[in-house]
Amino acid sequence: MDDIDDHIDEVPIIGHDGSINPPTDEPDSNQTQQQSSFTNYQKLTFIAMCCTYLSSMMSFSIIAPFFPTEAEKKNVSHSQIGFIFSVYNLVCFFASPLWGKLIPVIGTKFTFLAGCWVAGGCNVIFGFLDQLESGTQFLVFCYVVRSLEAVGAAASITAAMAIVANAFPDNVAVVMGWLEVFSGLGFAVGPPLGGALYQLGGYKLPFIVQGGIVILILVVNIFLLPGQDSQSSKEMGSFVALFRIPAIWPLSFAILVGSAALSFLDPTLSLHLQQFNLSPTVIGAVFLLVGGFYAVFSPVWGYLADKKRILRLMIVLGFHAAGVAYLLMGPSSVLKLPNELWIICMGLGLLGISIGCGLVPIFLDLLSTAFWYGMPDNLATQSIVSGLFNGMFSLGAFMGPFAGGVLTERYGFPVAASYFACANISVVFVIGLFGVWEYQCGYGRRKPRVKEETLKDEPNERSPLITEAPSWE
């Protein structure tokens, strides 16, 4: 019994290469230097990823202010217009895991650049669809081109996440937090830029300019982004092995709900704000409360996730606060608050802050969980985790507006917001209860990549169930 007690706190920690190394008295000077400052390789990679996230979200959102009007001129119904918008995320949901599977074989840099090329080219092509005949021909080509653009975007973003995981093993959450800043900036800049270009040069100009920006970034990244595939294995990762890990399921559910919570407001909030007789400019400013606070606080949450490693606690607290935010946005009848604009704005600001706290740590948690349960710490695992995260986020972005529109139409915005509050609170219970179960099974004390410790030969009840990468065949 004394021997077992001696090993209670000696939980093995998986190193960056997937192995368990013996402890050393002296700190690794290379590791200390890497944590104190980024290398030139990392700096170039970071710049390339920021440009990609910015341009990708601009491509998605630039059509918002003018395309519905143009589509109506082509005899396209409102529901069909809505599906033109939502098909982008639906295709990303199916394409992202596929790219995550293929990236180790075809290479991260090639996948990244090819995806940018396809997305940029589709942007330019979309600008010439107004030359087609009204009705079915225009509608079908909109679906096809928008879907191809989503395939390219899924390739570039999935590859970008894999590149980040590979290039920044000790700062994954910090870098992802900063990339969310550029993602939010692109989403915010896209609509006003699209509206201004449409007024200046008509339907074609926004697409030509945006497509040109994407292709220009592609050309720059050819020289800017360092090569990354020479030493990587060509072995593909296994989604079967990934989904055999119990923790993947509640984390995937959290991604889905968090993404849906962000996108729920797209078709519903402006209608809810009409009761206050606000101008379009003021309504746009209210929308920015969510994106603005999300962008500002994402690096903070990333820093906390990387340095403090309280990932599950951050997820639980973030989604709990997001549930409260949705109750304020209604405001819900449960709170018995007056229907005042300042209360709604307070809920929107709280949502922007809290949902970042819930979402930003998940990617790091997925990676750490996969490594801890025995999957190899290599490009194959990083790629399928990236594909899973991007796919679930895209599915949530597809379901959020759809469910929000249906619930708002049937029950009204306050009740619909209350349903989404319950969805966020359900994540708290799922992650919390799973965390208790996981701890009881002996996984609760893992501290990935914080400190290398020796794996003792003697087994004990708190040792991991898997100490080597198993054969998942």
Alpha-carbon span 52 to 152, nearest angstrom: 12
Asked whether the predicted pLDDT for residue 451 surpasses 70, the reply is no
pTM above 0.85, yes or no: no
- Looking at per-residue pLDDT, the higher value among 189 and 168 belongs to 168
Looking at every residue in the chain, the average pLDDT score rounds to: 82
Contact of 336 with 277, CB cutoff 8 Å:
no
% pLDDT > 70, the chain: 84
Ranges assigned E (strand) in 211-268: none
pLDDT digits (tens, 9 = 90+) for 162-188: 999 888 988 898 999 999 889 878 877
Inter-axis angle of helices 311-329 and 413-440, nearest 10: 160
The pLDDT of 126-154, averaged and rounded, is 92
Asked whether the predicted pLDDT for residue 449 surpasses 70, the reply is no
Find, among 233, 239, 208, 99, the residue nearest to 157 by Cα: 99
pLDDT for the residue numbered 457 = 41
Residues in contact with 71: Cβ distance below 8 Å, sequence separation at least 6, in sequence order: 80, 81, 84, 138, 142
pLDDT for the residue numbered 228 = 56
Alpha-carbon span 391 to 376, nearest angstrom: 21
Asked whether the predicted pLDDT for residue 210 surpasses 70, the reply is yes
- Looking at per-residue pLDDT, the higher value among 221 and 231 belongs to 221
User: How many angstroms separate the most distant Cα atoms in the chain?
Assistant: 82
pLDDT for the residue numbered 429 = 96
Find, among 196, 188, 180, the residue nearest to 52 by Cα: 180
